[in-house]
Amino acid sequence: MANKKIDINRCSVEDLEQLPGIGRHKAEAIVKQRKAIRGFSCVNDLHNKVPGVGASTVEQNRGLLVCEVTTPRSRRTSRGGRRTRHDSSTASGPEVVTPSPKPSSSGVTPRLGSRQGLRQRSRGIIAPPDLPTSSSAADSVASLTPRHDDTSRSAVLDSLSDSHMSEDGGSGEEDGGSDDEDAVEDDDEDEDDEEEEEEAWFGDTLSDEETSQDNSTSFPFLSSSLSLSLAGSSSASSTPGPYRSRIPIPISGSFGKHIMKRKCSSSSRDELVQGKRMRTTDDVSAFSVLMKTVRHQYKSGHRPRIPSKEHPPARLSEWLQIFQTWSNAERMMALDELITICEPTQVRHMMQVIEPQFQRDFISLLPKELALYVLSFLEPKALLKAAQTCQYWRLLAEDNLLWREKCRDEGIDENLVYGPNRIRRKRCPWKALYMRQHQIELNWRCVELRQPKLLKGHDDHVITCLEFCGNKVVSGSDDNTLKVWSALTGKCLRTLVGHTGGVWSSQMSGNIVISGSTDRTLKVWNADTGNCIHTLYGHTSTVRCMHLHDNVVVSGSRDATLRMWDIDTGQCLHVLMGHVAAVRCVQYDGRRVVSGAYDYMVKVWDPETETCLHTLQGHTNRVYSLQFDGIHIVSGSLDTSIRVWDVETGNCLHTLIGHQSLTSGLELKDNILVSGNADSTVKVWDITTGQCLQTLQGPNKHQSAVTCLQFNKRFVITSSDDGTVKIWDLKTGEFLRNLVALESGGSGGVVWRVRCSNTKLVCAVGSRNGTEETKLLVLDFDVDDKKISV
């Protein structure tokens, strides 16, 4: 056994189980799989196709195993007869060795229509009636060539149909004799006989050599699951033409259920002979109907055509007429059902037809004015994508007026467009401005922060007021001075010296700075030169608040009065008296003056007549903050409430409840109010409805009192005693990130004031216990114009 190699395609179970690592169980699995796949193609198939046999076992026995692949026989061997061989290499056609017909057990030559006769006739063992079996075979084959008309082919179909019909219609004796012979064979020959019977019934599939030599006639009117072809050799053949032909019929569907092999009941004596499957009359009838249909269509010349507009399928126009009579809902339902029953290839065809209908460039077909009008409805982001479609779309999408409207919708200051020369030189300046602003917003929101500029001054004093205009920053302190800084370089340009007390309020416009001090005076300064233009005397106590409009400033003092000054002349224009406690906040719009005081009152003044128009009563504690837009007055108080008033009638429109402590900061723009409170929360309100839109809190909220806030259409900037400056999304209330976080935050570090421009943030920071140095931080969010290409 050590020197003998085992052929895995011929060995037995006993041979295999002697090999190392195989065993009886694996040997049986190998033989079983070999029968299932009809032989192995190589030794590696053992571990690739046999479950339980590993690659290591195969490698261990590779020297003892061989795999000899057997070539399939082109014809099967009949019992007791010789095999019919075909040699495609011969020029004169296939050579046929015709054995003698095997007689039946009764000594009678098999009937042509019987099972055995049909089987032997398919092998060429016996000849059909009226057809020669010797040298005249070539003449018979020639009768099937495509040169002949359909009538000749129909005759062949007739003979085939009649032969199948006669199989069940013949005498029982002859059939019985054939089946008695079959019954004495072993199991292996029974399997071969079953396959031979199928070949005799349906026909063998021609080999490659036969197919290349035969001319086939196909029948396209049959369904895809049932195809029929007649083949006739153009060269001489020893087998008669009609019976030399093969009829390959792939079977599926209900027809296939009738004519394929199937299990049948043992009680059906008509369908069983010695335990073997017989064809029923229904099978033969179905096949006969098929053959007659083929014959009739080919005789009549009605061959089906490939559907086209000239030759549409039958009843197509009738179906379309019915479809046109339906309503829209009925059509939609019909289309849904149609798509459901379609094959994937048909659905893809529908997509290929429909998609181009939605891909028409209608923008290019419209007049330019209409095309721009259509594009004006796109969001800026979609407009930028549209510009990448084609050259003409880019020309439209970069229209300067189109982007001007987009800038106005976003509230972008149009005065910036033609100001700097770098914007004016752009091909589409409005688009360049929009792109620049978009990048600036990204810088605020998420781009990594740059190192801030440090503006150190005022020693360890408190910065009490902060102004930011253009590129100049002005800070006032309780050290009696104001300092002017450059926001670009971070250098202190000059120090404004003149007050004899701490500076507690200030206003700035252009290069003019107005300051109020505990020395009871106001001073007007030129920030460019550092000179004091005017000193305004009149108040008898600390000037605690002021508001500048054009060239008139209104000041409020702890002496309970308000005074109006002309900063150009330094003259006191009006004195407004009526409060009975210190005035803490004031607003002026050029027409009305609104003031809030520690007497819990809010008053509306007519400055021309120096009369109080309305005294707004409702707060139950000191009023600390005010906002006035010309229509609404918003006041914040130590009583934790915020009230909204009508300036004309003096009525309280809304009382905004939600904060828990002093409202120290208010900002009002376009009916949106943002309030900062000592309870560490920030709220966003709609003053027209009195509804709280957002509360800026959560795990990232401030940990101490909110000291100052600023906001625009997108962001809210807040500062706190906890030493942080935070940025929030105005619409969603989402915390975005910390812009400033002092290391001493929580242990004394404080952010007192913040002021913002479009591209810069200025923060006044320090501490009350010396843990943080007093200074200004300037954060820059501007962009490099070279990076913006338009």
pLDDT of 291 > 90? The answer is no
Q: For residue 199, what pLDDT is reported?
A: 42
Report the distance separating Cα 261 and Cα 280, nearest Å. 11
- For residues 649-665, b (16+ Cβ closer than 10 Å) or e, as one string? ebebbbebeebeebbbb
- pTM here? 0.56
What is the pLDDT confidence band of residue 126, given thresholds at 50, 70 and 90? Answer: very low
Q: For residue 753, what pLDDT is reported?
A: 94
Better-predicted residue by pLDDT, 626 or 237: 626
Half-sphere exposure at residue 2, Cβ-oriented, CA atoms within 13 angstroms:
0
Place of tokens 């150009």: 568
* Distant-in-sequence contacts of 512-516, Cβ < 8 A, 24+ apart: 512/567, 513/467, 513/474, 513/482, 513/484, 514/546, 514/548, 514/553, 514/567, 515/465, 515/476, 515/482, 516/542, 516/543, 516/544, 516/545, 516/546, 516/555
Q: For residue 257, what pLDDT is reported?
A: 42
Question: Per residue, what are the HEC states of 584-607?
Answer: EEEEECCCCEEEEECCCCEEEEEC
Hey, is 542 helix, strand or coil?
Answer: coil
Residue-wise pLDDT for 370-412, tens only, equals 999 999 999 999 998 999 988 999 999 999 889 988 888 887 8
Report the distance separating Cα 195 and Cα 181, nearest Å. 17
CB contact at 8 A, 727 and 437 = no
Contacts of 735 (CB under 8 A, 6+ apart): 696, 698, 700, 701, 726, 728
The continuous run of DSSP H or E covering 488 comes out as none
Half-sphere exposure at residue 763, Cβ-oriented, CA atoms within 13 angstroms:
29
The lowest-confidence range among 53-62, 263-272, 588-597 is 263-272
Beta strands 611-616 and 602-606, pairing class: antiparallel
Average pLDDT over residues 271-289: 50
The continuous run of DSSP H or E covering 431 comes out as helix 429-445
For the record, the structure tokens of 317 come out as: 């126009």
Q: For residue 275, what pLDDT is reported?
A: 40
User: What is the sign of the dihedral through the CA atoms of 546, 764, 753 and 756?
Assistant: positive
Facing residues of 473 across strands? Answer: 468, 485
Q: For residue 608, what pLDDT is reported?
A: 92
- For residues 192-211, b (16+ Cβ closer than 10 Å) or e, as one string? ebeebbebbbbbbebeeebe
Hey, is 683 helix, strand or coil?
Answer: strand
Residue-wise pLDDT for 517-561, tens only, equals 999 999 999 999 999 999 999 999 999 999 999 999 999 999 999
Q: For residue 409, what pLDDT is reported?
A: 85
For the record, the structure tokens of 383 come out as: 């407009």
User: What is the sign of the dihedral through the CA atoms of 167, 172, 177 and 179?
Assistant: positive
pLDDT of 193 > 90? The answer is no
Average pLDDT over residues 77-103: 41
Hey, is 624 helix, strand or coil?
Answer: strand
Measured between its terminal Cα atoms, the distance across the chain in Å is 86
Q: For residue 19, what pLDDT is reported?
A: 87
Residue-wise pLDDT for 454-469, tens only, equals 999 888 899 999 999 9
Report the distance separating Cα 369 and Cα 374, nearest Å. 9
The lowest-confidence range among 226-235, 272-281, 663-672 is 226-235
pLDDT of 442 > 50? The answer is yes
Better-predicted residue by pLDDT, 54 or 376: 376
The percentage of residues in the chain with a pLDDT greater than 90, rounded to a whole number, is 46
Better-predicted residue by pLDDT, 53 or 560: 560
The angle, 0 to 180 degrees and rounded to 10, between the axes of the packed helices 400-409 and 429-445 is 40
pLDDT of 246 > 50? The answer is no
Mean pLDDT of the chain: 76
Hey, is 263 helix, strand or coil?
Answer: coil
Report the distance separating Cα 8 and Cα 396, nearest Å. 76
Q: For residue 415, what pLDDT is reported?
A: 65
The lowest-confidence range among 226-230, 356-360, 670-674, 782-786 is 226-230
